[in-house]
Chains A and B, each alone.
Chain A
Amino acid sequence: MGMIFSLVAVILLVAIAFMGAKLNLLGLFGVAIPYLAVLVFIAGFIRKVIKWGQSPVPFHIPTTCGQQKSLPWIKHSKLDNPSSTLGVIGRMALEVLLFRSLFRNLKTDMSDGRPVYGSNKWLWLGSLAFHVTFFVVFIRHLRFFMEPVPFWVNALDAVDGFLQVGVPHLQITGVVLLAAATYLLLRRIFNPQVKYISLPADYFPLFLIIGIAVSGILMRYFTKVDIVKVKVLTMGLATFHTTVPEGIGAMFFVHLFLISVLFAYFPFSKLMHLGGVFMSPTRNLPNNSRAVRHINPWNPKVHLHTYEEYEDEFREVMKSEGIPVEKE
């Protein structure tokens, strides 16, 4: 049900954009909505991060995934159980750039009445491919918002099109992005456990991103929108001198509208894991809580059962057992 709901929602969004283009509401779909979406994204993102930041980290709770630093002759696992800030930076880099934790993934099965744990790297591979290509595609698109186009964007473009197939050159990241997003979607549909836990909020961003990738690929390789006019529009957005040239092609507005929806939806959704992963106290703290005192800003005052109360209750038996007491 969640999947159908999300699919219908994205189809509706596509239809709205088509209608908008057909009705020539170009100012709305080409300027107003994208601006609004970016505004919501920035404000929402900041608000959420501030909200997280307002809750303190009362206890020092890293999840340790390797040997602690203790005696000098015991080999310390510096990245999986860091004891210093530098180690934490290394651990976070591995986590954010290479998905270290997902790389550990296993699959549990029952075999001959016994649980067995097999290596299972597909989720790691699929998500890494998805995130890396998404990032590259994002960077590549900077060429629409900068003039002259910086050399590193052009260089990335060239590397991405290294196959030199088709006109314009096929860019491998777009294809991989679409394939990886499709894998993540199929996983939700066909893996019974993942299907069971999936919410509409899990399907919706996948359909949305698949929609963005498909519309992008369509207009680059098939419906061929007027790229020069697109750049006029996007440069207008970037320089706050907005103009909307006629005759860009409806597919562009579908693409732009879906991206706008993604931006506006982002801060209110699970996509905020982008910001959240950096703030996770089980990953971003060094395991040094016995060497350096961690402060809890709201450390509560509590009732204690003092030694005096204890001795008052047990003084006689303590004395009879020869256990020293404070008051004879």
Chain B
Amino acid sequence: MADKLKPNDLLSRINYTPPLNKWMDTPVDWKKGYYCYGAKPKNLEYIGFPHGREWNVTDQDWKLAENWKDIFLEGMENLLKKFRSFRLFMDICVRCGACADKCHFFIGTGDPKNMPVLRAELLRSIYRRYFTVAGKLGKIAGARDLTEDVFKELWYYFYQCTECRRCSVFCPYGIDTAEITMMGRELINLLGCCTDWISGPLANCYRTGNHLGLQPHTIKSNFDYMLDDLEEHTGIRVEPTFNRKGAEILFVTPSADFFAEPGVFTCMGYLLLFHQLGLDYTWSTYASEGGNFGFFTSNEMMKRLNSKIYAEAKRLGVKWILGGECGHMWRVLHQYMDTMNGPADFLEEPVSPFTGTKFENAKSTKMVHITEFTADLIKHGKLKFDPKRNDNLTVTFHDSCNTSRGMGIFEEPRYIINTVVNNFHDMPDNTIREQTFCCGSGSGLNAGEIEELRMLGGLPRANAVKYVKEKNGVNMLSCICAIDRAVLPPLIDYWVGDVAVCGVHELVGNALIMDGEKERENNLRGEPLPGMEDRGEEE
């Protein structure tokens, strides 16, 4: 896609004026680059999902079950009874339009059905038709029949929402499209119509404990590469443990952090920090995934994948759990885990072993965010830094959707960054914190086949990065999310250029002064530190 369409061509297509014909009369324009591939039967079968089959999104016939309509409507009735949010959000929208231009997919594509209100109306029209009295009147009451084309339309647009909740911030009733998309996807999964990009990680995670399907020996060898690099940079051999019983803390992070760049540099940051502290902790190969693609599928699948974290903490006998940098992982841990798989009465209320700080805000789940942990260490003077090692960087910070609008972690990462970096500039106010823009690839949408959609969805974020690049010379975009680390580099390359992406703990790892380290010449990426550029040649 990126080869065919230049950024300016894509930009010139954006038009916020809706077409003349009514939305109900406008069929889906199945544009290549805007829809994912369908789930393969073997993945669905592995996790026990129904109606797995060979099918193709572009085929006229989706090979839906004979009684698909009954399954859908019964499923909908069931969800309306289980979720107050769903029933309420179906009933109370006044279509004021405040949400309309808040969605990054609308801003990027101009497709009116990407206005959050209309995305919800796609399903609301079904709700009215089958679950309200007035809806029997049909179109005049905003209702329509559920047909195969309508189902396909729901599918198309519920996989063009990243569940980022930005619309929910602006809605006067807090109507949350993420919630509606989740319900839509629950229904889609009743009919076996998950996407390939989501169902693959689901099956992997269920079997191997992580989305990437890394088996224990692969995890181990990935760590060995990182440890070799760290030894080269610092002269210190870090020796993490795996599945170790009796450790004080279990550490869980997204598997992407020990799989590929630039996530691995963040992971190297964790490793250095924990080594310097002498933290009594262990990794787990069974609970080797913080992320949870079940969250993008169904509440039951989310629970099944998430259960491994508490189960492993219990088996290993740790006191509490520390979690790495990730967005949706933390929404699940913060707002769902204790409810689904708690109570964690086999763990202790988390206390920092170095500062004695009680993490009161995590006293029930017993799980602490790494930026809370590190910010507390810094505040108590437990760490020494040389921020000059990051002086080649002018850094900005991307607030991840889930940690922003599902938790409210804003100051912790900024406090850490401002300690370990000398040059920090925030992006404009309307694009950060609770108003932050999505990377455009969250909620299971980081599939290669929808690159064009992802570039457009990420436009508002990239545009704000471009602003601080031009104004402040920003060349590093930091974040606390593994999906961000995977998808922001191509996004920024496409729209902005010459801005790299890193996790906050990569910056920590660079600046951290460690006992017994050699004079550092390189940062964690193996690039020469500022002032060390000529060192290689001298030797």
Contacts and interface: CB of A to CB of B under 8 A. Distances in A.
Partners in one complex: yes
A320 to B, nearest CB: 7
A181 B517 CA distance: 70
A320 B242 CA distance: 13
Q: How large is the interface on A (under 10, 10 to 19, 20 to 34, 35 or more residues)?
A: 35 or more
A71 B169 contact: no
Contact of B97 (A77, A194, A293): A194
Given A58-B339, A106-B101, A110-B14, 15 more contacts: A55-B86, A63-B168, A63-B169, A66-B434, A102-B172, A105-B170, A113-B12, A197-B97, A270-B92, A273-B93, A280-B175, A289-B365, A305-B304, A310-B209, A318-B216
Contacts of A74: 375, 411-412, 415
A227 interface: no
A115 B95 contact: no
B92 A277 contact: yes
A276 interface: yes
B307 interface: yes
A81 B460 CA distance: 25
Interface of A: 1-2, 5, 48, 51-61, 63-71, 73-75, 77, 80-81, 83, 95, 99, 101-102, 104-110, 113-115, 117, 123, 127, 191-202, 268, 270, 272-273, 276-277, 279-283, 287-296, 298-300, 302-307, 310-311, 313-314, 317-318, 320-321, 323-324
A52 B335 contact: no
Contact of B459 (A5, A115, A270): A115
B217 interface: yes
Nearest to B460: A115
Nearest to B104: A115
Contacts of B335: 59-61, 289
B458 to A, nearest CB: 12
B472 interface: no
Nearest to A53: B84
A140 B404 CA distance: 44
Contacts of A95: 172, 174
A60 B331 CA distance: 10
B85 interface: yes
B88 A68 contact: no
B215 A68 contact: no
Contacts of A320: 217
B215 A290 contact: no
Nearest to B171: A101
Which of B95, B244, B367, B409 has the most chain A CB atoms closer than 10 A to its own CB? Answer: B95
Nearest to B283: A323
B412 A293 contact: no
B419 interface: no
A64 B407 contact: yes
A15 B335 CA distance: 54
Given A63-B165, A66-B408, A276 B142 contact: no
